[in-house]
Structure 1
Amino acid sequence: MSRRFRDDPDLVYLVRDYDAVYRRGSAGGSRVIRGHLRTVREAVSDVFEANPEVADRPPQALPVCAHLPRALHAGTRGPMADMSHSLLRVADRLHWEYGYERVPRGLTEKYGYCEVVGPRGPVLADDLVLGLVLFAPSTTYPQHHHADIEESYVAISGAWSENDAAVYAPGSLILNVAAHDHRITTGFSEPTLLAYAWVGPAERLRDPAMRFSPRRR
């Protein structure tokens, strides 16, 4: 017998926490970011309206998951406390993966991501992906981009930088428009846990063709 989204309170509360971030968070005066927040909110509302099936993907851990308890504990003491507490309820159900056919040497121990809402579930959706990215301390996530996918990150715990432009703390949001090259680095002493949202064409979200960008000479 299939389960529906609204029959799973732990997932419902977690997705509501995502919705709260994109509903109550500031756009910082940016019309572009404001539009992205609205798009994500509307897609989340569609998920609640559709009440999709919950896909029972088997839990899967990666080496970086050894840092997840620390990241969630730190998150419960910051502005993303509600989401961190909700994640603690589902942490043993998450399916962590790399997303790349070839992962750079050294990154296999320091990186992983999982979907919460999206084509790969557990909450099935075609036009939205909500997920998590976990980095170990002192990680460099190489330059990459996502064709046709608009992406935002919200920091749950840890300090991180994108393209060496600024340091982002828990609660901060950054938007990457489609095809924007970006590189992520993380702090030396603590893991970094990011929530992310992807919006774009359904066929691209099903097969994002994740690739690292060629190094610039």
Structure 2
Amino acid sequence: MTDSDSHSDEGAATADSLTRLSDCPDWDYLLREFELLYRPGFAGGSKIIRSHRKRVRETLAAIIDSNPPIHARPPETKPVVAHLGRAFDVGARYALFGLSRATERIAHLLTWEYGYQRIPKALARKYAYCEVLGPQGPIVTDRLILGYVLFAPNTTYPQHHHKDIEESYISISGNWSENDQAVYAPGSLILNRSGDQHRITTGERDPCLLAYAWTGPAEKLAKPGMDFSKKPVA
């Protein structure tokens, strides 16, 4: 065997040993639960929301079919994760209990973070988010980001926006409001288009677990540049 043959065999072995979505049933089932969230219907007559749902759904289906790589991230917790068990308990009562259960199965693998260089001290105990699909993984793609945001009861998440990123939230557990305009129950979807200023407030009794999807250019998804806003919400 020549040296080049040896290097070729090593490369093949490395490729063969790469962990893929099909090797991790719990991650695969989780993505399929996300896909159900964005099936046709429940757009409330909004063409913009219907278009967003279709974009997320079709992109996610293509990613699943591509059998993307899994790059395990070191699990990381934050103080608010103490409320996650209660969020699962409440989520089990509502229409999205399938996603709640699928999330509970991989909860020990999640990497919770803040996403900001500076975060108010009080908020640091009441908020965190984790990515499950996206450039940071653990399910790796540059075409879409899916993840979760967890809020403690009685939390106000300050006004913020995302440039060149379209974002939807779907509540798995807990009631919440955005910009004090309405109260949204589990199963509700809110769409924030690029640049939309928004502020989130949660209910007094239970935590709120939101699933989210981000769509946008690959370079923006890789470095979204999360910042709190200064301009007041109208």
TM-score interval w.r.t. the shorter chain? over 0.9
Structure 1 residue 102 displacement after superposition? 0.4
Q: Once the two structures are aligned, what percentage of the paired residues are identical? A: 55
SS at match of 2:211: strand
Q: 2:60 aligns with which of 44, 57, 70?
A: 44
1:117 aligned partner? 133
Q: 1:33 aligns with which of 49, 53, 56?
A: 49
Equivalence map 1:1-217=2 (5 Å): 1-216=17-232
Structure 2 distance, partners of 1:25, 1:11, is 25
Structure 1 distance, partners of 2:40, 2:119, is 36
TM-score, scaled relative to structure 1 = 0.98
Q: Which runs of 5+ in 2 are unaligned?
A: 1-16
Structure 1 residue 28 displacement after superposition? 0.5
Q: Deviations over 1:184-204 (max 9, x none)?
A: 000001000000000000000
SS at match of 1:72: helix
Contact 2:167 2:215 in 1 (8 A): yes
Opposite residue 227 of structure 2, the aligned amino acid is R
Q: Deviations over 1:16-46 (max 9, x none)?
A: 0010010145111000000000000111012
Opposite residue 82 of structure 2, the aligned amino acid is A
Opposite residue 201 of structure 1, the aligned amino acid is P
Structure 1 residue 48 displacement after superposition? 1.1
Q: Deviations over 1:159-194 (max 9, x none)?
A: 100000000000010100011000000000100000
TM-score, scaled relative to structure 2 = 0.91
Contact 2:40 2:53 in 1 (8 A): no
Opposite residue 62 of structure 1, the aligned amino acid is K
SS at match of 2:38: helix
Q: Deviations over 1:82-138 (max 9, x none)?
A: 001101110000000000000013000000000111001110010100000000001
Number of aligned residue pairs: 217
Q: Which moved more, 1:21-30 or 1:157-166?
A: 21-30
2:12 aligned partner? none
Aligned CA-pair RMSD: 1.1
Structure 1 distance, partners of 2:41, 2:180, is 24
Q: 1:80 to 1:120 in 2, by over 3 A?
A: same
Larger radius of gyration: 2
Runs of 4+ in 1 over 6 A off after TM superposition: none
SS at match of 2:191: strand
Contact 2:41 2:50 in 1 (8 A): no
Contact 2:20 2:69 in 1 (8 A): yes
Structure 2 distance, partners of 1:20, 1:215, is 36
SS at match of 2:121: coil
Q: Which runs of 5+ in 1 are unaligned?
A: none
